[in-house]
Structure formats: C-alpha cells, structure tokens
Amino acid sequence: MSQERRMAVLSAIVEDYVQTSEPVGSKALLDRHQLNVSAATVRNDMAALEDEGLIIAPHTSAGRIPTDAGYRLFVDRLQAIRPMSRGERAAITDYLEGADDLDVVLDSTVRLLSTLTRQVAVVQYPSLTRSTVKHIELVPMSETRLMVVVIMGTGRVEQRVVPTGVDYLAPQGADALASARGRVNAATRDRRLAEALDSLRTLHDEDVETEDALTAGVIGVVEAALAEERATKVTLAGTANLARSSSDFPMTLEPVLDALEQHVVLLKLLSVEADQEAPGVSVRIGSENPVTGLQGTSLVTSGYGAGDEQVGAVGVLGPTRMDYPATMAQVRAVATYLSRIVDA
C-alpha cells in the first residue's frame, strides 16, 4: 500500500511540476490532490522518493521536481494512453484530409503536431527499403520516348523518360505496350523494391516479347529509387516552441538547436522506432537520448506505415517537463491517421 501511495505522490508531483514549472512542496500536494493522508506522511513519502532518485530538491527550495528516472517511472506506470477527444480527432482529420502529395502530407503532419503539442514535431520520410511497388505505369510520350512511372505503396512516386526503339503510339505498339505493362506489374506488384528489381532483371533476361529498352528503363527507375534511400530525410516544425520553454534549459538552447539542425541525428533516432515490429508509442527521456545535445529533452515517437509494414516514424521533441499522457495520445493519433493516408 505504501508503495502505491508513493507512486500517487510521484504522479502528483509530475503533474503539478509540468503544469506550474515550480518545485512542488507537501502543502501544495495536499491542497491540490486527494491523497487522504497527513502532511507528515506526504513528507515521508517525498523523502523516500528522493532516496530512490525519483525526485530532487533544486537549489535550496523546499519543493521537489522529478528526475529523469521519476519521469520514466511515471510514463511506465501509465495504465493506458489517454484518449483524445472527439473534437481533437476531428481536427486531425480535417487538417490532413484531401492532401495527396507526399511532401504536402508530411509538411501538414509536422505543422499540425507542433500546433497540438506546442513542441518540436518531426517526421521521417517513408523508407524506400520497406516500400512496396503498388503500380508501374508506362506512358508513351512520342514515337521514341516512353515515361516510366513507379508508384510505391507509401504514395511516393518515381518517374523518368526513357528512349525506346518501338513506336508505342502506333496501334501495334499500343498493343505491345499493354501486354508489357501487364507483365511488368505482374512481376513487381506488392513486392519490396529490392525484390521487384530482381524480378525485373529476370524479366529483362528471359522475356523475349518485351522490348529490352522498356524493361531496362523500368529497372533504371527502381534502381534510382533504391539509391535515393541513402538520402531519406526528415522534416520538422515548431522549433520556435522551444523558446517558450527556455527556463527548462538552464544553460542554453544552443546544443538542442545544433542537434535539430543535424537531420542525420534525428533520422537515426526516428529510424530506431521505424525498425520496431510492434506498433506503439515510444518515449525517450533525458539521458536516455544518446545524443549529448538532446539529453535535456524527451522524445515521444510512433511508427507509421502501410498495412502491417512500418515505413517511418513521427514524433515530438521537447523539454523533459512535458505533458506525457497528452503528448503520447497526440503522437499516436497523428501516426495512425498518417498510416491511413500512406496506405490509401
């Protein structure tokens, strides 16, 4: 019973400190929360929590604030992620509804999430190594040129114009193109890009009915898409929100801002979440972040994807003094809706 009571005291300290940014004393806890115990009991519980390294007294203040370990225990003991209201869910739907271009979708996503959380929002572009081919379209541009359009399951599109030796605008060429389109899609549809590339190479070597230039052009587009994987990027919004929490960074914001400028750092952090097989919300608190400049922050992330396949991650970065239940709910809701968009 005493352990549960101490956890209730810890939760109350976290909630009050997040709301007020002021150290929390025993009198404030008794005034604001229904703990149903004496002031002496609360003081004893606070002393025990301090001994366990879950709260500390900043400077000479009589109040206490949570440590990284205290926040960690608070988050781990959350029974469930707080559901968003119907109005909040409707706002997400309305804001993202109708966007079909991937860049527009991801830009809208980070702007929405930074507005909801009042923190820095970041989203990883879909990883092409996890992407599947949804459809390959072959469009004749002239008597000697053909446009190859590869549409990924994530909504990403790669295209290029390739030279051909067949006039696909002529009736006979149009029939040949329709046949080739069917064989190319049969070899690639719903396959990951690397697998689709292998199938295309087999088609190129063995299919005598399809023009070599055509299959070579399709292979070139898929190869280019895979090569671009090295340039997978992130986009972010809401950096100015950090200024509102400058008191949470007693030294300077400069290390945090420097880390945010290095997109490869954020990509590395988000890629860990995208690599997880099980969907869910992940929280890294303070010193749990491997990047030195971000060890005064917390990162709340969730993967998104098409079907059961996670292809990227979306998250929020802010000070450790964060409303974790609300932020976790908002990140999860936005990631869920983003998954619906890329899976459409």
Instruction: Output the 3-class SS for the chain.
Output: CHHHHHHHHHHHHHHHHHHHCCCECHHHHHHHCCCCCCHHHHHHHHHHHHHCCCEECCCCCCCEEECHHHHHHHHHCCCCCCCCCHHHHHHHHHHHCCCCCHHHHHHHHHHHHHHHHCCEEEEECCCHHHCEEEEEEEEECCCCEEEEEEEECCCCEEEEEEECCCCCCCHHHHHHHHHHHHHHHHHHCCCEHHHHHHHHHHHHHHCCCCCHHHHHHHHHHHHHHHHHHHHCCEEEECCCHHHHCHHHCCCCCHHHHHHHHCHHHHHHHHHHHHCCCCCCEEEEEHHHCCCHHHCCEEEEEEEEEECCEEEEEEEEEEECCCCHHHHHHHHHHHHHHHHHHHCC
Q: What is the pLDDT of residues 146-194, one digit of tens each?
A: 999 988 876 778 888 989 888 999 988 899 999 999 999 999 998 888 8
- The yes-or-no verdict on residue 128 having pLDDT over 90 is no
Report d(CA 134, CA 37) in Å as an integer.
62
247-274 mean pLDDT: 74
Superfamily for 86-126+232-342? Answer: GAF domain (3.30.450.40)
Q: Which residues contact 280 (CB under 8 A, 6 or more apart)?
A: 302, 303
What pLDDT is stored for residue 274 in this prediction? 46
- The yes-or-no verdict on residue 32 having pLDDT over 70 is yes
5-16 mean pLDDT: 91
Specify the length of the chain in residues.
344
pTM of the shown model: 0.73
Report d(CA 188, CA 133) in Å as an integer.
6
- The yes-or-no verdict on residue 235 having pLDDT over 50 is yes
Domain ranges of the chain: 2-76, 86-126+232-342, 129-230
β-bridge partners, 74: none
Superfamily for 129-230? Answer: Enolase-like, N-terminal domain (3.30.390.10)
114 or 275: which carries more pLDDT confidence?
114
Class of domain 2-76: mainly alpha
79-95 mean pLDDT: 74
Reading the block at residue 19, the tokens are 């709301």
What pLDDT is stored for residue 78 in this prediction? 83
Q: How far is CA 177 from CA 164, 171, 181, in A?
A: 11, 10, 6
